[in-house]
Amino acid sequence: MTQGRKSKREHLVETAQQLFYREGIKGTGIDTVLEHAGVAKRTLYNHFKSKDELVIATLQRRDQEFMAMLKAGVKKFESRQTGEPAFARVLAYFDAIEEWTTSKQFSGCMFINASAEYPRQDHPVHVICAMHKRLVIQYIEELMSGLTLADPHDLAVQLAVLTDGAIVNAHTTSNRNAAQVAKQIAVSLLTLHTQPAH
Amino acid sequence: MTQGRKSKREHLVETAQQLFYREGIKGTGIDTVLEHAGVAKRTLYNHFKSKDELVIATLQRRDQEFMAMLKAGVKKFESRQTGEPAFARVLAYFDAIEEWTTSKQFSGCMFINASAEYPRQDHPVHVICAMHKRLVIQYIEELMSGLTLADPHDLAVQLAVLTDGAIVNAHTTSNRNAAQVAKQIAVSLLTLHTQPAH
DNA sequence: CATTAAGTACACAGATCAGTATACATCAAT
DNA sequence: ATTGATGTATACTGATCTGTGTACTTAATG
């Protein structure tokens, strides 16, 4: 029971996650996952009763990983900002997004990609992706909690739309400036909504 | 050579386009396309030497169709706007996006979806999607040609990022307000960039 | 030592996949 | 009327896919 470093299950999910992200989910066969993980097929099907279950496990893992990456990025970049703390956190958030979208391994948002591969909105995979996006909005709302806003949720949704636009634009058109573009817009929005027009 | 209504080729592409859009490209087999089109397999492979070629043909068709839809939408909605014509056209553009994203058959952007299914940026399918996105930016730039702007291309990219964000958000989270959110942001940006701050 | 849990190796089922081969039908143009 | 292009029907290949069946190994635990 107690065994070296990682459980086989965890190792499978980690390997599958990388492959699904790089090659797409439907573009990656179970056998490919097993080869890369160096694990027997039976072991996989002892832990997951179908590929779909493995897919869902990878998305849940990615959700954890991504949120952690975001929070670490915000922490890292917010110190380099000046002015209102909540304002600085939002800017740091877009810096984190930029660092990610310009990184070497970047291949779009795993959840947006998965949603595209499973277009049906009632499919479990699609549902999980929607949940993740809702979590991100919630997180943005938390980042802005120090600001005085007419409708904080509304602004969080705006910033989330902006984020998704930047991610997709960066991936489809290989644009390395997408996140900066989004950040620039975010600054405009924040300025508008925190200092009333007159 | 001269035959009824539509050529078999055109019919195949139209049918494939619908299925690829609704069920995903890798989620749709050649046989499914043939069943729906009522065409023999040999006929398909006389017109296209591989599935990839058919996929590319559907994307090219979708590009034509989508741009036509946008232009028709702009024409339809711009008359309902007041004020500066170029400004009104951009608002009408977002109205067109909204009408699309809230329509019954909406299942995301076919090019974003295809990019996700073919994540490798050098894959022909991915390249075509990037080209389409560049065309959209160009079109937005044309819409704004009457406005006095410091950097028209820059603003067009911003609006394109906004558009993609709205489309993706609408699809993944089934949010019917996404396009309105984007439009609202667009208004802010246009106002900021057309009437200098002081 | 015996039991039990977890993993492995490997063959295999059954479906589906893209693409080909072959023989036949239709029909317009020469 | 013959030819040539286009399409059809059907069977088939070979690869790949998810998932299962089975017998063996390994190691921790009692």
Predicted confidence (pLDDT) per residue in A34-86, tens digit: 999 999 999 999 999 999 999 999 999 999 999 999 999 999 999 988 889 99
**Predicted pLDDT of residue A6:** 79
pLDDT digits (tens, 9 = 90+) for B36-67: 999 999 999 999 999 999 999 999 999 999 99
pLDDT for position A15: 98
Q: Tell me the pLDDT tens digit for each residue of A77-106.
A: 999 888 899 999 999 999 999 999 999 999
- Interchain contact, B181 vs A158, CB within 8 Å: yes
Per the prediction, chain B carries an average pLDDT of 95
* Cβ pair B172:A115 closer than 8 A: yes
CA distances from B38 to A11, B33, B61 (A): 46, 8, 20
Which nucleotide, over all strands, has the C1' atom closest to the CA of B44?
D7
Is the distance between the Cβ of A4 and the closest atom of strand C smaller than 7 Å? no
The tens digit of pLDDT for each residue in B100-159 reads 999 999 999 999 999 999 999 999 999 999 999 999 999 999 999 999 999 999 999 999
- In this prediction, residues A152-158 reach a mean pLDDT of 97
Instruction: Pick out the nucleotide with least CA–C1' distance to A43.
Output: C7
Q: Determine the residue of chain B that is closest to A173 in CA distance.
A: B130
Nearest C-alpha of chain A: how many angstroms from B11? Answer: 23
pTM: 0.95
- For the cut 70, the answer to whether the pLDDT of residue A5 exceeds it is no
Which pLDDT does position A97 carry in this prediction?
Answer: 98
Instruction: Give the HSE-up count for residue B190: Cα atoms under 13 Å, Cβ half-sphere.
Output: 26
Which residue does chain A place closest to B156, by CA atoms? A181
**Residue B130 with chain A: CB contacts under 8 Å:** 172-174
